[in-house]
A and B are shown apart, each in its own frame.
Chain A
């Protein structure tokens, strides 16, 4: 972009890149290293970057003693339910949005942008009151409901992009050949939409898996806490030796999103998602 830079220019560029790599990378290395350090090393006066005596004990401890195992299971349940429900609910609507001229598509997108503007505190109190009224406050079902609604606008927008990528001519050809509307949907649209459904489900899964604020406010029983809330509680417990299991739990909590991003990156580069998630 800058043509051929001078030698000093190149050197400066590499120095800058090194700076970025250190800033971005070292905190991650530190998390990894802490997760594999035995308690002895954690309380050492001068910690080292690389654990001298690595152990997986922290992972075992995080998931047995510290109740992070149960929290991970809770998170898994809630996130899976949110993902499945989001896709089921969004599928028909996104088809309608993509195939029929309607102002609602613009409205859905507008709502995605507008809802970013409002702080959660405005939403959370009425939601809390509504859920309490119907007996769903402090339950996983209530949390799933909120997550689905929260993921829906973006999921609709994403999924209708996938529907648009399916040539309308395919559907028309099938119906000319005598297929009923239901058959067209089942035999033509559904199989072609599968990657989009997976991507939407993953998106919904991850936003539920990472979500903290609603889970913090809505779930009061410690046994029902999701992983981010359990991890945040764990932070409050003082003691340097506990940092190991905390780091181990944090690493495991990151895995699903990392897998999601790897998946999305491949999809993005293959172009099949190009119309759905830009920016």
Chain B
């Protein structure tokens, strides 16, 4: 994220440093860029625009199906679709829950890893491993932990004599969503920790020492020195985490596939079912559009509040 601001080479002026042949030779540049730009335009930008457009049509699966523009019909239908609202609420709970817990836990871990503690090396390695795992594997791993008969969690409760707490974590209506959120936190924590740790290492030592000399308590120093210095990093990573979490798919698909009884049916899973089980392409695309608009709106509110706080 920091790289955004650092582009010393581009801005470097001074034609005297460059022989003529290095000066922008337009055709050459475009020839060099073409092999990259063309595929991105054809298979990324164009599909995206077409996807947005599809959200305003009645497109359906199947060859030679006529597609007609229907305006806001999909959105009117979405408004009255109880399953959509349900999925949307679950999606928000999931995205906000995972992002907040992920951030708090990652901040705690980053603060610990920033200290001279023993076992710090082990913790640093462990903290990165979940990041390296494919989402499908993370899903499988936690399915094993939550397994009603052969799972680590139920066995743990048995060993400590709390058999009453044993349950089918992913199959029970009341525990499925919290269980899935915990997995989301586990999977996303490493990246957040690494980013926050990098941010912490950029917080000036002198400020801390000065504050300590002035008699500020640990909490005060954290609140008034560390947090303000870390704020830009926190805003960036929590925003990104929120987007990633809201759009995540593979993890929950493997864990519960949206069950039991739709209790973990994230919007992405809902859209996937609409599109590829029922073939309602237009409707699914409309759902995607609504998701984008809502993410942008939520982020705008969040970022504006942070900005106001900063001023």
Contact = CB atoms under 8 A, between A and B. Distances in A.
B117 A14 contact: yes
B145 interface: yes
B10 A152 contact: no
Contact of B292 (A122, A125, A153, A161): A122
B39 to A, nearest CB: 5
B111 interface: yes
Interface string A16-49: 1100110111111011001000000011111101
B66 interface: no
Contacts of B9: 98, 164, 168
Contacts of A130: 42-43, 47
Interface string B148-192: 011110010010000000000000000000000000001001000
Contacts of B4: 109
Interface residues of B, number: 115
Nearest to A180: B21
Contact of A13 (B115, B237, B268): B115
Interface stretch (B71-79, B80-88, B123-131): B123-131
A278 B132 contact: no
A127 B43 contact: yes
Contacts of B152: 26-27, 30, 47, 49
B212 A3 contact: yes
B271 A121 contact: yes
A228 B287 contact: no
Contacts of B112: 13, 16-17, 20
B98 interface: no
A243 B276 CA distance: 28
Contact of A125 (B7, B17, B54, B133): B54
A102 interface: yes
Given A24-B130, A117-B295, A121-B268, A212 B249 contact: yes
Contacts of A99: 22
A93 B289 contact: no
Contacts of B10: 101, 105
A27 B145 contact: yes
Contacts of A253: 134, 136-137
B92 interface: no
Output the residue of A5, A14, A125, A181 with the most chain B CB within 10 A.
A125
A25 B126 contact: yes
Contact of B2 (A3, A24, A261, A278): A278
A172 B22 contact: yes
Interface string B228-260: 000000001100100110110110011000000
Interface in A223-274: 228, 231-232, 235, 240, 243, 246-247, 250, 253-254, 257-258, 260-261, 265
B35 to A, nearest CB: 5
Contacts of B144: 27, 30-31, 34, 243, 246-247
A122 to B, nearest CB: 4
A279 B288 contact: no
B32 A96 contact: yes
Given A212-B250, A228-B136, A150 B22 contact: no
B282 to A, nearest CB: 9
A167 to B, nearest CB: 10
Contact of B281 (A125, A146, A164): A125
Contacts of A149: 39-40, 43-44
A175 interface: yes
Contacts of A172: 17-19, 22
A250 B221 contact: no
Interface in A102-132: 102, 104-105, 109, 111, 115-127, 130
14 contacts: A3-B208, A13-B112, A17-B117, A20-B126, A34-B150, A100-B24, A109-B4, A119-B246, A119-B291, A121-B268, A168-B18, A253-B136, A258-B129, A279-B3
A-B CB proximity, top 9 nearest: A122-B51, A126-B47, A93-B36, A210-B134, A96-B32, A122-B288, A212-B250, A126-B50, A92-B32
